[in-house]
Amino acid sequence: MKTKFKDTSREGIINAFCHRDYWKYDSVNIAVFKDRVEIRNPGLLYGNLTIEMIRKENVSERRNELIAEIFHNVHFVEKWGRGISLILSKEPDTEFKEVGTQFIAVFKRKELEKVGEKVGENEAKIFNLISQDKKITYVELANKLNITEKSVYKSIEKLKKKGLLKRIGPAKGGYWEVKG
């Protein structure tokens, strides 16, 4: 997960599980829309925190000490209380809101994340994998997607024709340039 969008959504999901209100009979939900992704978790901000405080003051109140400790022990979080600042450092336009009894993190989708609307499924998957690893090979792409190298080649040619992808340098030692 190397792209900013994936890093921030991963962090948002971890935050949701660390800070949700487990007394509420509900679950963490991810809603995917054309223009945004929302991570919704039961329970409003904890410990009299406000959205302004978490955005500007980098403060955190842990509702679930044991869950936060487990995530720390398995290296899902480096340090407690850094989730929102990490998200905002990579995606400053992230919106946080409280609706009813839900805390919602809203990640705006950029054109690169919406590439699936312009191309087929394989092309979108290849585009995302190349976005994560600019030096990925045809063989690696074929193995990860469980398709033939010929299919990878055809999909990459389509992405190039649409102006979404460009190869820089030779097959060995070169890299992919992702365009929007």
Q: Where are the domains of the chain?
A: 4-108, 115-178
CA–CA separation, 130 and 87 (whole Å)? 22
* Look-up of token digits 């010929």: 150
Q: Write out the CATH class of domain 4-108.
A: alpha beta
Please give the Cα distance from 14 to 83 (Å, whole number): 8
Return the residue matching tokens 């995917």: 32
Please determine, for residue 105, whether its predicted confidence score (pLDDT) is greater than 70.
Answer: yes
Q: Is 141 helix (H, G, I), strand (E, B) or coil?
A: helix
DSSP string computed for 9-33: HHHHHHHHHHHS-TTSS---EEEE-
Backbone angles phi, psi at 12, to 5 degrees: -65, -40
Per the listing, tokens 């990640």 go with 107
Please state, as a whole number, how many other Cβ atoms lie within 10 Å of the Cβ of residue 145: 16
Per-residue model confidence (pLDDT) at position 6? 62
As a whole number, the mean pLDDT across the chain is: 83
The pLDDT assigned to 129 comes to 86
According to the model, what pLDDT value does residue 112 have?
47
Q: What is the pTM of this model?
A: 0.58
Written out in words, the top-level CATH class of the domain with range 115-178 is mainly alpha
